Amino acid sequence: MHHYLKPLDATQQPAWQALRTQREQMQAFSLREAFAADPQRFQRYSLNSGGLFLDYSKNLIDARSQQLLVELAEQMNLRQAIEQLFAGAPLNASENRPALHTALRRPIGDRVLVDGVDVMPQVHRVLAQMTELVQRIHNGLWRGFSEKPITDVVNIGIGGSFLGPQLVSEALLPFAQRGVRCHYLANIDGSEFHELTAELCAETTLFIVSSKSFGTLETLKNAQAARRWVLAQGARESDLHRHFIAVSSNRQAAVAFGIAEENIFPMWDWVGGRYSLWSAIGLPIALAIGMGNFKELLSGAYEMDQHFLSAPFAENMPVLLGLLGVWYGDFWDSHSHAILPYDHHLRNFNQHLQQLDMESNGKRVRQDGSPVSCGTGPVIWGGVGCNGQHAYHQLLHQGTQLIPADFIVPVTSYNPLADHHQWLYANCLSQSQALMCGKTRAEAEAELRAQGLAEEEVQRLAPHKAIPGNRPSNTLVLERVSPQRLGALIALYEHKVFVQSVIWGINAFDQWGVELGKELGKNVYGHLTGQEPGPAKDGSTQGLIEFFRARHRG
Ligand code: F6P
């Protein structure tokens, strides 16, 4: 039996026990003191890879904790697991599939076998098919029902068939090609459909129905609505192939829906939805930024893949980020992790990472079905700086929870404006500095005294003004948000999530919890519309159904 089917229990490893002791010994660990004691701390705990610079010196670690975390990874056979991931072993054991998103960024000539078949020729065939489509659209050769060239592309998809493409096309806006605008339609909420189509003209709009399964309710309902809309705007049934293409691993269902065979771009079972932006699911990205830039994105991810495969754990960016997450979650009682990009174009990065991380590592049993004996994936949240500083950062500074944060910032802005970028960069750094240094009670008192306040007032205010500090963070610096750097950044987080799943012994590539909601959704819809006899399964749901039925007006 492969070791991933009978995972080791991390909590039973010698390194885990040693980390427990280490944690106790670090009760009084102070980041301020650690920096004062070691002038090399920044150099010691920072590294460069894939055009990304990671400063992880503001973490609650010393040489021994880092060494023990690396030992834990070794004891959990992480090296072997990484090799299996890249080689296509069926690590998604509950669905008996590999998770080969890394194959999507490999160069021509590489070989990756799935069930004895080299998948690389298919991968590059689809890239060529994408290139042809992008060229036809960019050159105005793809025409709508009235022979006008396509000007707008709407990606209909949800989850991984939406978040990754949206993030990348939004983040790489400075690379946008003129002539075609990309839009996203994800939710089943009719308001989204109405607001979007109100801006569009069917004659010049192409819809990409993007669904690995071609069975996702929201996507299929929106695709049907789009078809009705195109027909209502004057197209005939025989024109529909000019307005609909699909990306799916379920060709049959796409054909049954009415997509022309030649308009279906394949993807594969061995690519997970939340890891699929590198496949034809990335078509809206390629349409937005051009195929050359899309390939740069792939090459940046490939660079990170090579780093992940070959760098020693103590110098391996995804491994270090993954281990730090385990350290805080399982030893410091931390339950969430903030993603704080200081870049307008990366403002929705946390949405993609939420699915990537929480759908992957929101698990409670290990690969063999036994319950985990430690905490698993954290809540991922966050948002763009500086905006967050005036909203939720307060809780990071003075709340009762320990919330590690990743600050992400480019050195160069595509839109320089006076000294705004220097201020943005400075704010990013000063936030992580404030989290780390805080303000001691004595410092708060001294400040208040310097303002000439009476001692009684000083004592009244000081507890409110003292800030504990010692709150950990990573800072990731990119030279600029380019296709290549962004590719590396996203791949970094994919691998971080994988590292953690190996430590916890869980399957990062299935998502059975999501399925229950889908099943119950159908059942509740049946009750709501009177198609399902009898009352709903529980009194609350039944009460809410009755409330709706008594008042519903459309
Ligand atoms: O319901 C969750 C999910 O299965 C995600 O994992 C996936 O990315 C999303 O739905 C969309 O699935 P599909 O591409 O098959 O429509």
Cα 302 to Cα 103: distance, rounded to the nearest angstrom: 9
> Residue holding tokens 């296509």?
88
pLDDT of residue 4: 65
Three-state DSSP state, 246: strand
Nearest-CA residue for atom 16 of ligand 1: 211
For ligand 1, is residue 155 a contact (CB within 6 Å)? no
> Residue holding tokens 């809780």?
395
- Examine the pLDDT at 1 and tell me if it is beyond 80: no
For ligand 1, is residue 160 a contact (CB within 6 Å)? yes
Query: What is each CA distance from 53 to 143, 411, 416, in whole angstroms?
Result: 45, 11, 22
Nearest CA among 20, 27, 245 for reference residue 154? 245
Ligand 1 centroid distance, CA of 272 (Å): 9
For ligand 1, is residue 256 a contact (CB within 6 Å)? no
pLDDT of residue 328: 98
**Amino acid (one-letter) located at 203:** E
For ligand 1, is residue 158 a contact (CB within 6 Å)? yes
- Three-state SS string over 444-499 comes to HHHHHHHCCCCHHHHHHHHHHHCECCCCCEEEEEECCCCHHHHHHHHHHHHHHHHH
- What is the percent of the chain with per-residue pLDDT over 90, rounded to a whole number? 97
Say whether the peptide bond before residue 182 is cis (omega within 30 degrees of 0).
Answer: no
For ligand 1, is residue 92 a contact (CB within 6 Å)? no
- Examine the pLDDT at 149 and tell me if it is beyond 80: yes
pLDDT of residue 245: 98
**Which residue numbers are catalytic?**
359, 390, 518
For ligand 1, is residue 165 a contact (CB within 6 Å)? no
pLDDT of residue 3: 59
Query: What is each CA distance from 279 to 84, 99, 255, in whole angstroms?
Result: 21, 13, 20
Which atom of ligand 1 is closest in space to residue 216's alpha carbon? 16
Cα 22 to Cα 42: distance, rounded to the nearest angstrom: 22
For ligand 1, is residue 273 a contact (CB within 6 Å)? yes
The best mutation among 92, 158, 497 to test binding of ligand 1, ranked by most ligand atoms within 8 Å of the C-beta, falls on 158
Task: Spell out the residues 6+ positions from residue 71 whose beta carbon is closer than 8 angstroms to its own.
Answer: 14, 15, 18
CB atoms within 10 A of CB 212: 24
452-501 pLDDT, tens digit per residue, is 999 999 999 999 999 999 999 999 999 999 999 999 999 999 999 999 99
- The helix (H) or strand (E) run that includes residue 328 is helix 317-331
> Residue holding tokens 């027909």?
231
Nearest-CA residue for atom 1 of ligand 1: 514
**Amino acid (one-letter) located at 249:** S
The best mutation among 494, 514, 518, 519 to test binding of ligand 1, ranked by most ligand atoms within 8 Å of the C-beta, falls on 514
Residue 97 has, within 13 A of its CA and on its CB side, a CA count of 12
Report whether 281 contacts 160 (CB < 8 A). yes
pLDDT of residue 463: 98
pLDDT of residue 6: 77
Which atom of ligand 1 is closest in space to residue 359's alpha carbon? 6
Ligand 1 centroid distance, CA of 222 (Å): 15
> Residue holding tokens 């000063």?
430
31-62 pLDDT, tens digit per residue, is 999 999 999 999 999 999 989 999 999 999 99
